[in-house]
Copies of this chain bind each other. A is one copy, B any other.
Amino acid sequence: MIVYFDFMRIKDDIKQEALFEATIKLVNETGFAASSVSKIAKQAGISPATIYIYHKNKEELLISTYIQIKKNIGSVIHENFDDSLPIRDILKNVWFKMFNYIAKHPDYFQYTEQFSNSPYQSLVDKREIEKYFDPVINVLLRGIEQKIIKNVNFDILTAFIFYPIVALSNARVCQDLDMNDENIETAFTLAWDAIKL
């Protein structure tokens, strides 16, 4: 293996990371409309011209930030993914990983939730997102095939096996609920009962 440092590349990565964080921070604090490219650039400590190297316009920057978060989630939930486990165990592992990720990055989730309720969501091709979730989607499909999971529309399955996590992780909505391991496990019982045949 040849290891070499590409300083331009590292510099680029740092800028990209700063831009990613700045976009999320500014949108969460002031909303999509008030988050101009120049304000995001200022927050990121880079020039607006640099943003335009990577992104055609503000819209494209907001969308790619959303896709990047989804890609991160997809990568985290599939860490040490063991396809040979029983389907219930695989889904339970994914369930816990999602909760842990949201607990670590509540700001990312605030961004994706705002995004999902904005007109920008219509500009995202669902397939583009789904590819990051292929392994877990394939597990659900296998479960349907093996008559372990209900054979219903995929959006309906998703509304019960992934979506409640978003609600339960929103401390503003669940003011009285501490999502400790015990509660995460209890909630998984409900999710599993919802989708299992």
Contacts and interface: CB of A to CB of B under 8 A. Distances in A.
A136 interface: no
Given A31-B34, A121-B173, A159 B168 contact: yes
Contacts of A30: 31, 33
Interface string A160-171: 100110011010
B164 A159 contact: yes
Interface residues of A, number: 46
How many copies the complex holds: the figure is 2
A187 B173 contact: no
9 contacts: A33-B34, A117-B117, A117-B170, A121-B172, A159-B174, A159-B187, A164-B164, A190-B194, A191-B194
Interface of A: 29-34, 110, 113-114, 116-117, 119, 121-122, 126, 150, 152-160, 163-164, 167-168, 170, 172-177, 183, 186-187, 189-191, 193-196
